[in-house]
Amino acid sequence: LARRPAAEVVAALTALAEKVSGCRECKLCTTRNLTVFASGDSQARLMLVGEGPGAEEDKQGLPFVGAAGELLNKILAAIGLARDEVYVANIVKCRPPGNRDPEPDEVVACRGFLERQIDLVQPRVLVVLGRIAAHTLLGNDTPISKMRGKWYEIRGLPAMVTFHPAALLRNPALKRSV
Ligand code: SF4
């Protein structure tokens, strides 16, 4: 897909975010506080895809604003990128209660929004953070340790899988490979 003019992309993403904010397509709508659509630059060359909102994200309506988000900012800084230079979104836009994994029906209900985001932003590279996002977007159940660091293709774009920052908080030894 060719990238559409910037103003058209912003308008289409704004309309999509509006739709997501009122979405009731799965049961996560009954427990969420705010939907979490995305953050960052819709013209970004790098797009990151995570799993779903946690408690802090659900409160603020923004992705990766808790402890994992702080670590993500440091990782990006290490390659010379500010957080607002990348586009960040999740597989599900509403918080799974108690930070459980999103369930298959929730992932199915929500994934069309993410696919539309990817098609609109058209980054040069996608980075897929963690098991849930990797399995959803690549349609397999390979352990993340075997998928990480390899190139895949998602919606016609080059995509790299790596560990989720929350996993790095639990296991700092993984940081180096990320
Ligand atoms: Fe809709 Fe996605 Fe939220 Fe489910 S998780 S209610 S599909 S926006």
Per-residue pLDDT in tens (0 to 9) along the chain, 178 residues: 678 899 999 999 999 999 999 999 999 999 999 999 999 999 999 999 999 999 999 999 999 999 999 999 999 999 999 999 999 999 999 999 999 999 999 999 999 999 999 999 999 999 999 999 999 999 999 999 999 999 999 999 999 999 999 999 999 999 998 9
Query: For residue 39, what are the β-bridge partners?
Result: 88
What is the position in ligand 1's atom list of the atom closest to the CA of 102? 5
Considering only CA atoms, which of 3, 133, 15, 8 is closest in space to residue 64?
133
Q: Is the CB of 106 under 6 A from ligand 1?
A: yes
Instruction: Answer yes or no: are the C-beta atoms of 39 and 63 closer than 8 Å.
Output: yes
Output 29-32 pairs: Cβ under 8 A, ≥24 positions apart.
29/94, 31/94, 31/95, 31/97, 32/58, 32/94, 32/95
State phi, psi for 47 to the nearest 5 degrees.
-120, 135
Structure token digits, residue 41: 């630059």
pTM of the model: 0.96
> Does ligand 1 come within 6 angstroms of the Cβ of 95?
no
